[in-house]
C-alpha cells in the first residue's frame, strides 16, 4: 500500500511538521519524574529521543502542571504529573536538541490539574479537590469539590503565561493545552460540572472563557513564537452523573458532538492553531483510552465531524495503529494528522517501518493497558510487549564473546521472545515445541472477536521467527533423552502452564471444560453454562459465549471480577457483562452438582441453586516445570521463564525473556 498521505508535511500555526504522525501525550511514565519536585530526569529525554529516531513528525509530551499551589496534590508521596520548572530547562532543551536533530518537532502539554478527578489516595491524604463548581469528587463521591474563586482561576491563567516563557526559552515548538477527559479545564467548559454564574460560567461562551484566557496569557507572554493547540473530547459518553456508557446513541448529559463542533469554531476564532480530538472522560474511560475490546479507528467519526467545521488542522487519535486505517483517514480528509500513543510505546520505529514498507515488522500495541495499569498501581512501568520502553539506554543487547548453543523448550510467548533476542545477538538457537504450531496460550487468547488486537502479536511473532530463520522442531516433546543426542550450553525452559482442575462434589467431567478448551473449540458445551472463576479470562469467555447466544452465569469467590487490569479495560468488561445481562455471583463458591443443579454458597452466607447444563472452569493456571528441575539435577545450565516460572500476563513472559536473553 502507498502511504503517501502519512508522509506529507503539514503546517500547524508557524510550525512545519515533516509528516502526519504525532506521538500522543501520555502521563504514565512516572519513573521519568523526580518524586520530590515533579521535575524530569534523563530517562524522559531518552524515551522521547527514541521516538524521534523512529521517525515521528511531532512529539507531544505528557502533561506538566503550570503551578502547584492552587491545584496541589500528591499520591503515595509521588507527584503524578511533573511540575514545569525553569530549573529543568537543561533537560527540556536537551530533548528538543535531540528531537530536532532527527527532524521531529516537540509540543509540551500544559495542564491546570485534575480538579474533581484528583486521585482518591490524594484526597485520603488530606489534599482538597477543587473544581469549577461544587461537584462530587470522582474517586470519592462523598467529598464535594471546592469551587475555585475568580482570583484563583485568574492566577491559573497567569501561570500559563509564565509557563509559556519557560517553554519558549527551552526551545519547544509549541504548547498543547490539556482540555480533555474531564480534567479541570474540561470541567470549566462542560455544563454538567460548571454551574458558575460569573465570567467563567453560564452559557458556552462563558464556559470557554478559561481556555480562551489561557491562550491570551500565552500570546501576551510569548506572542506568536509558539504554536498553540487545544485537546478536548468530541463526546463524553455520559448517560448520567458519574455514569458512562458504551452506547453511541445514548442521551448525552456531558458534551455531545453538536456542542463539540461549536466549541471547535469558537476556539478557532479565539486563535488556537489546531485541535486534537479524543472522546470520553473518567466515567467513560474506555473511550478516552480504548482497550483491546474497542474496534480500530473508533474515534474517527468524531474528529472527522469537527474537522469539517474548521480550517485549522485537526489531529485524530484512537486506535490508529493500523497503517492502512491511518492512511485512509488522511486520504479521505477525515483528519489532518494521526496521533499514536501506545503504538509508539510498543514500537517506536512505527513511522520508519511504514515508510520503508515494512509494516509486517511493526510490533503492534495489544490494547492491554499494562503500561497504564503499572502506573496507577505505582509499579515499575514499561510496555507489555516492549520492555525497552522506558528503559532506553538501560536495557540493551550486550555483546557476546562467543555464540552459545541454546535449547529453548516451549514455543509460547516467552520461548519465542527468547529465541528472537538470542538469534539477533548471534547465539545458536533451537526451539522445541510439542505441538505443531507456535504461540502457546497466546493463540486461544487471540481467538475471541473482542481480543482481535492480540492477533497482530501472533502474526508478528510468526514473521519474526521466519525473518530470523529460527530453527524450530515441531511436534517435539523435549525429554532428558535429548541430552544423549546433542549437548547444549544453555537450556531455557518455557514450558508454560496448564489449567487448574475444578474439585466440586458430584461433577460430571463430560460436562466440564476449561476456558481454553472452549475458546479453542477442543470441547463444546451446550445449554446454560456456569463459568467458575470471574478473573479476566472467565469474564472474557463469558462475554464471548453470551455474544453468540449462549446463556451463562459467572461464579467468583472474591468480591469483584476482572481484577488485575487497568480500569479502562475493567470498566469496559463490566459494561459488556451488564449489557449482556450475565448474572454474576461474587464472594461465592460452587459447592456441589446434583444432576442439572449447581449449589452455590453466596456472599450472604446462603445456599442458592442454579440450573446448569455444563461448567466452564477458569480458576487459574498452574506451572508446568518438571523438566527444569530435572535439568538442574543433571547439573545443566538452565533458566525457567514465563508461565512455567509463574503463570502471569504476556507482559511477564516478555519481560523475563528480555531480561534474561539480552544478558546471556
Q: Is 601 a known active-site residue?
A: no
**By C-alpha distance, which of 133, 17, 51 is closest to 392?**
51
Q: Report yes or no: 275 and 264 within 8 Å, Cβ to Cβ.
A: yes
For residue 628, the 8-state DSSP code is H
| Helix (H) and strand (E) counts in the chain | 23, 30
What is the enclosing helix (H) or strand (E) of 53? helix 42-53
C-alpha cell at 228: 498553540
Q: Report yes or no: 153 and 199 within 8 Å, Cβ to Cβ.
A: no
C-alpha cell at 296: 480500530
Please state, in angstroms and as integers, the Cα–Cα distance from residue 309 to each residue in 258, 261, 271, 316, following that order.
Answer: 11, 6, 15, 15
**By C-alpha distance, which of 24, 170, 163, 145 is closest to 88?**
170
* CA 530 – CA 552 distance, rounded (Å): 6
**Which of 33, 47, 183, 645 is an active site residue?**
183
C-alpha cell at 294: 474497542
Give 206-231 as a DSSP string.
HHTHHHHHHHHHHHHHHTTSSEEEEE
Q: Report yes or no: 308 and 346 within 8 Å, Cβ to Cβ.
A: no
Give 232-265 as a DSSP string.
EES---EEETTEE-S-TTSPPSS--HHHHHHHHH
Q: Is 106 exposed, middle or buried (0-12, 13-18, 19+ CB in 10 A)?
A: buried
Please state, in angstroms and as integers, the Cα–Cα distance from residue 83 to each residue in 39, 181, 463, following that order.
Answer: 6, 20, 43
Q: How far is CA 137 from the centre of its chain?
A: 24
Contacts of 484 by beta carbon, 8 Å cutoff, 6+ apart: none
Q: How far is CA 474 from the centre of its chain?
A: 34
Q: Report yes or no: 412 and 653 within 8 Å, Cβ to Cβ.
A: yes
* CA 48 – CA 345 distance, rounded (Å): 10
What is the enclosing helix (H) or strand (E) of 552? strand 552-555
CA atoms within 13 A on the CB side of 485: 6
Neighbours of 28 (CB within 10 A): 22
442-476 CB burial, b ≥16 within 10 A, e <16: bbbbbbbebbbbbbbbbebbeebbeeeebebeeeb
CA atoms within 13 A on the CB side of 524: 2
Mind telling me the catalytic residues? 183
Amino acid at each position: 500500500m502507498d502511504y503517501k498521505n502519512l508522509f506529507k508535511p503539514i503546517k500547524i500555526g508557524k510550525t512545519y511538521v515533516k509528516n502526519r504522525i504525532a506521538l500522543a501525550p501520555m502521563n504514565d511514565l512516572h519513573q521519568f519524574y523526580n518524586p520530590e519536585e515533579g521535575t524530569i530526569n534523563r530517562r524522559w529525554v531518552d524515551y522521547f529521543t527514541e521516538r524521534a529516531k523512529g521517525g515521528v513528525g511531532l512529539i507531544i509530551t505528557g502533561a506538566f502542571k503550570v503551578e502547584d499551589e492552587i491545584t496541589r496534590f500528591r499520591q503515595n508521596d509521588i507527584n503524578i504529573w511533573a511540575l514545569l520548572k525553569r530549573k529543568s530547562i537543561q533537560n527540556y532543551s536537551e530533548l528538543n536538541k535531540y528531537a530536532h536533530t532527527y527532524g521531529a518537532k516537540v509540543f509540551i502539554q500544559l495542564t491546570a490539574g485534575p480538579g474533581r478527578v484528583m486521585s482518591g489516595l490524594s484526597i485520603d491524604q488530606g489534599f482538597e479537590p477543587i473544581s469549577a463548581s461544587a461537584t462530587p469528587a470522582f474517586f470519592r463521591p462523598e467529598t464535594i469539590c471546592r469551587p475555585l474563586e475568580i482570583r484563583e482561576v485568574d492566577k491559573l491563567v497567569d501561570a500559563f503565561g509564565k509557563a509559556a516563557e519557560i517553554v519558549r526559552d527551552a526551545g519547544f515548538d509549541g504548547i498543547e493545552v490539556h482540555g480533555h477527559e474531564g480534567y479541570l479545564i474540561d470541567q470549566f467548559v462542560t455544563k454538567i460540572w460548571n454551574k458558575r454564574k460569573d465570567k467563567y460560567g453560564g452559557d458556552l461562551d462563558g464556559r470557554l472563557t478559561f481556555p480562551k484566557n489561557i491562550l491570551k496569557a500565552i500570546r501576551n507572554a510569548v506572542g506568536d513564537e509558539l504554536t498553540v493547540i487545544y485537546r478536548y473530547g468530541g463526546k463524553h459518553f455520559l448517560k448520567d452523573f458519574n455514569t458512562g456508557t458504551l452506547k453511541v446513541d445514548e442521551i448525552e448529559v456531558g458534551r455531545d458532538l453538536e456542542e463539540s463542533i461549536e466549541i471547535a469554531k469558537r476556539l478557532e476564532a479565539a486563535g488556537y492553531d489546531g485541535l486534537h480530538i479524543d472522546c470520553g472522560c473518567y466515567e467513560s474511560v474506555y473511550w478516552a483510552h480504548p482497550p483491546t475490546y474497542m474496534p480500530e479507528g473508533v474515534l474517527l467519526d468524531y474528529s472527522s465531524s469537527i474537522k469539517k467545521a474548521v480550517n485549522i488542522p485537526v489531529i485524530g487519535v484512537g486506535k490508529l495503529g493500523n497503517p492502512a486505517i491511518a492512511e485512509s483517514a488522511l486520504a479521505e480528509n477525515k483528519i489532518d494528522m494521526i496521533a499514536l500513543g501506545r503504538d509508539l510505546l510498543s514500537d517506536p520505529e512505527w513511522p520508519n517501518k511504514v515508510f520503508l514498507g515494512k509494516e509486517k515488522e511493526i510490533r503492534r500495541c495489544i490494547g492491554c493497558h499494562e503500561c497504564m495499569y503499572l502506573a496507577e498501581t505505582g509499579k515499575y512501568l514499561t510496555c507489555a510487549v516492549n520492555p525497552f520502553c522506558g528503559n532506553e539506554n538501560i536495557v540493551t543487547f550486550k555483546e557476546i564473546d562467543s555464540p552459545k548453543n541454546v535449547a529453548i523448550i516451549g514455543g509460547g510467548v516467552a520461548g519465542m521472545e527468547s529465541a528472537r533476542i538470542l538469534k539477533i545477538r548471534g547465539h545458536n538457537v533451537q526451539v522445541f515445541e510439542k505441538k505443531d504450531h507456535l504461540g502457546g496460550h497466546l493463540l486461544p487468547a487471540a481467538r475471541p472477536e473482542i481480543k482481535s488486537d492480540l492477533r497482530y502479536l501472533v502474526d508478528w511473532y510468526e514473521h519474526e521467527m521466519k525473518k530470523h530463520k529460527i530453527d524450530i522442531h515441531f511436534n517435539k516433546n523435549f525429554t532428558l533423552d535429548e541430552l544423549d543426542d546433542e549437548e547444549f550450553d544453555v537450556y531455557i525452559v518455557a514450558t508454560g502452564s496448564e489449567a487448574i482442575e475444578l474439585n466440586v462434589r458430584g461433577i460430571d467431567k463430560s460436562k466440564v471444560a476449561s476456558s481454553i478448551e472452549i475458546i479453542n473449540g477442543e470441547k463444546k458445551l451446550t445449554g446454560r453454562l456456569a463459568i467458575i472463576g470471574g478473573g479476566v479470562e472467565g469474564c472474557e469467555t463469558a462475554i464471548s459465549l453470551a455474544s453468540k447466544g449462549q446463556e451463562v452465569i459467572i461464579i467468583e469467590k472474591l468480591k469483584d471480577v476482572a481484577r488485575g487490569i487497568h480500569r479502562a479495560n475493567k470498566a469496559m468488561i463490566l459494561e459488556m457483562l451488564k449489557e449482556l445481562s450475565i448474572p454474576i455471583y461474587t464472594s461465592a463458591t460452587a459447592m456441589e452438582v446434583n444432576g442439572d443443579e449447581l449449589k452455590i454458597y453466596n456472599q450472604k452466607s446462603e445456599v442458592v441453586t442454579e440450573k446448569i447444563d455444563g461448567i466452564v472452569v477458569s480458576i487459574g493456571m498452574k506451572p508446568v516445570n518438571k523438566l527444569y528441575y530435572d535439568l538442574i539435577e543433571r547439573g545443566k545450565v538452565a533458566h525457567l521463564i514465563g508461565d512455567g516460572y509463574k503463570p502471569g500476563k504476556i507482559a511477564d513472559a516478555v519481560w523475563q525473556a528480555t531480561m534474561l536473553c539480552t544478558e546471556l
